[in-house]
Amino acid sequence: ILEELKKLEKLKVVSDIAASISHEVRTPLTVIRGFLQLLNEKNVPEEKKHFYIKHSIEELDRAQDIISDYLTFAKPSLENVELLEINEELEYIVNVVTPYATLHNSIISFQTTDELTVVGERQKLHQCLMNIIKNGIESMQNGGELSIRVRKVNENAEIKIKDKGVGMTTEQINRLGTPYYTTKDKGTGLGTMVVFSIIKIMQGTIKVESEIGKGTTFTVTFPSIIQENQY
Ligand code: ADP
Ligand code: MG
């Protein structure tokens, strides 16, 4: 019975969040519609065109992120499980989020000391690490460096993501991953919910250390596969 109740509770949260997600996705759509209308006017100056298009793309990306976070939250299972090379995946992720970092006057530094293979779904691993990295970038209001470090700890792949942003109090850290927790104007609070659920299904761990005004470090570990051909 307890299991049944838990399932019902989860369904309720999933449907409540669906309602707020529809709202969250409508906002970027409305903004994009407005920009398209402006672009359609006669004699739009070149720099205005550039501005409208740039912001439309940003809003489209935002709508897309919200939808994929919601889908992962509603159905947090691993589908196409593969062997993933952590360093390769991180290089890809860093490439994808670098324009976002640049937009926020930030730079990403990535260093690794070990080759590590983990089991999981590529797209979910990307989503998980990308959400942590984006939060780190967003936490540095005047820009700064976001550092990513990979190493082997025991039989695990450890990924440390460190920002020099606003930081969090213990209360704020404890609210991470709970529905609707956001401190941002355009936030959803879905990002860390998804981070926690992906780490759980990949049998990983997560640790958060933070100091107000100094920054935050997320330490994520995943069990790694021992490669026999290493010997
Ligand atoms: P969103 O980014 O949409 O607000 P998230 O679930 O990704 O939702 O994050 C929830 C909240 O957790 C953020 O609004 C922010 O207050 C806090 N947070 C998450 N990561 C960091 C970080 N690296 N530094 C400071 N605060 C953070
Ligand atoms: Mg976020």
* CB distance 182 to ligand 1 below 6 Å: yes
Atom of ligand 1 nearest to the CA of 186: 3
Ligand 2 midpoint to CA 45 (Å): 34
Lowest average pLDDT, out of 18-22, 49-53, 107-111, 135-139, goes to 18-22
Report the nearest-CA residue for atom 3 of ligand 1.
187
Question: Residue 17: its pLDDT value, please?
Answer: 80
Band of pLDDT at residue 227, cut at 50, 70 and 90:
low
CA of 48 to the centre of ligand 2 (A): 29
**CA dist 167 to 56, 133, 163, 173, 214, Å?**
30, 14, 9, 9, 6
DSSP 8-state class, residue 230:
G
Q: Which residues contact 43 (CB under 8 A, 6 or more apart)?
A: none
Cα gap 77→58, rounded to integer Å: 28
Which ligand number lies closest to the CA of residue 218?
1
**Ligand 2 centroid to 183 CA: how many Å?**
10
Query: What does the pLDDT look like over 39-87, one tens digit per residue?
Result: 999 999 999 999 999 999 999 999 999 998 888 888 878 888 999 999 9
Most ligand 1 atoms within 8 A of CB, residue of 20, 129, 135 to mutate: 135
Give the residue, by CA position, lying nearest to ligand 1 atom 20. Answer: 135
DSSP 3-state of 30: helix
Q: Is the CB of 216 under 6 A from ligand 1?
A: yes
Q: What is the pLDDT of residue 20?
A: 78
Q: Is the CB of 17 within 6 Å of ligand 1? A: no
Tell me the torsion sign for CA atoms 225, 200, 221, 186: positive
Q: Which value does ipTM take for this structure?
A: 0.99
